[in-house]
Amino acid sequence: MTLGLVVITGASSGFGAACARWFAEDGHPLLLLARRTDRLESLGLPKTMSRPVDVTDRAAVVTAVREAEAEFGPADAIVNSAGVMLTGDPLEQDPVEWDRMIDVNVRGVLNGVHAVLPGMAERGRGTIINISSIAGRKTFGSNAIYCATKAAVHAASEAVREMAAPHGVRVTVIAPGYAATELSSHITDAETRAAYQAAEASLEGGLSADDVARAILYCYRQPQNVCIREIVLADTGQTI
Ligand code: NDP
């Protein structure tokens, strides 16, 4: 059986890189997107096209998906994992950081959806997996705009799911808790970053990227008539 193409954004690190390894292990051809292609190539995965794409660039996302489909056949799944978390107090934070999170976490995810959804609907199958967060289900004032972007991912995913369902396309939201990846290293305020990383450390890092990738694979591996709409997962010790 020929396995379908899986597109993974944010595949150079964290959850995206773990998903790339797991889907490759299952034998899927892959399109991996991120800005750091050296990191994509260093994964050394077979049947893989890597492209240096910024997910905020809609045309570049579409072009890369078309190029991969020409080589490997139509996209059967996309994992929209690219994201940034610039934790900050909204009373003090530079709104440029808000724009960045909105652009990557919301527009970036929608650009991925746009690149694959019409084709999937036409073919009557496909799986869209969007990575949100527990921060998309409840708010944390110290992470206000990040929460807003993840709430948007939840809302858009559920609404797109309703519209895609009659066309046989599944849409799943994954909402993880703390996981020690590179995510928190991009927080610009040193004190805020240290506080966030201390919370992560109190959980010994929380989830691993593989824990999250396994949940994603579990959703994808269900029979096509089963759509797992949402998985919320966190370290057992996480109280928030
Ligand atoms: P990482 O920082 O380890 O990975 C983020 C990935 O996103 C990198 O591959 C990065 O690649 C990519 N990325 C960032 N900006 C862009 C861009 N403009 N264009 C293309 N790619 C981009 O974080 P995680 O793996 O932890 O995060 C993955 C997702 O999971 C994010 O959406 C995050 O919000 C979410 N999440 C993470 C949690 C955690 O605790 N780690 C918890 C809940 C949700 P590059 O820099 O090479 O472009």
CA 1 to ligand 1 centroid distance, Å: 32
For all residues of the chain together, what is the average pLDDT? 97
CB 125 within 8 A of CB 76: yes
Q: What is the distance between the alpha carbons of residues 125 and 240, in angstroms, rounded to a whole number?
A: 36
**pLDDT at res. 2:** 82
Residue 113 Cβ < 6 Å to ligand 1:
no
- Is 80 exceeded by the pLDDT of residue 60? yes
Contacts 24+ apart (CB under 8 A), 31-38: 31/5, 31/6, 31/7, 31/64, 31/65, 31/68, 31/72, 31/75, 32/8, 33/7, 33/8, 33/9, 33/61, 33/64, 33/82, 34/9, 34/10, 34/82, 36/12, 37/12
Confidence of residue 51 (pLDDT cuts 50, 70, 90): very high
CA 82 to ligand 1 centroid distance, Å: 4
Find how far residue 118's CA is from the centre of its chain. Answer: 19
Amino acid at 52: P
Confidence of residue 102 (pLDDT cuts 50, 70, 90): very high
Identify the CATH number of the domain defined by range 5-233.
Answer: 3.40.50.720
Q: Closest Cα to atom 33, ligand 1: which residue?
A: 83
Residue 130 Cβ < 6 Å to ligand 1:
no
Residue 182 Cβ < 6 Å to ligand 1:
yes
- Is 80 exceeded by the pLDDT of residue 7? yes
- Is 90 exceeded by the pLDDT of residue 1? no
Residue 176 Cβ < 6 Å to ligand 1:
yes
Atom of ligand 1 nearest to the CA of 146: 34
- What's the angle, vertex CA 175, arms to CA 231 and CA 154, rounded to 5? 100
- Tell me: the pLDDT tens digits for 140-191? 988 999 999 999 999 999 999 999 999 999 999 999 999 999 999 999 999 9
Residue 146 is among the residues annotated as catalytic for this protein: yes
CB 39 within 8 A of CB 62: no
Q: Quote the pTM value.
A: 0.98
Atom of ligand 1 nearest to the CA of 132: 44
- Is 80 exceeded by the pLDDT of residue 115? yes
Choice from 31, 50, 85, 202 to test ligand 1 binding pocket (greatest atom count within 8 A of CB): 85
What are the boundaries of each domain within the chain?
5-233
Residue 215 Cβ < 6 Å to ligand 1:
no
Q: What is the distance between the alpha carbons of residues 20 and 93, in angstroms, rounded to a whole number?
A: 34
Percent of the chain with pLDDT over 70: 100
Percent of the chain with pLDDT over 90: 98
Residue 3: DSSP 8-state: P
Amino acid at 148: A
Q: What is the DSSP string of 144-195?
A: HHHHHHHHHHHHHHHHHHHHHGGGTEEEEEEEE--B-SSGGGG--SHHHHHH
CA 3 to ligand 1 centroid distance, Å: 26
Residue 149 Cβ < 6 Å to ligand 1:
no
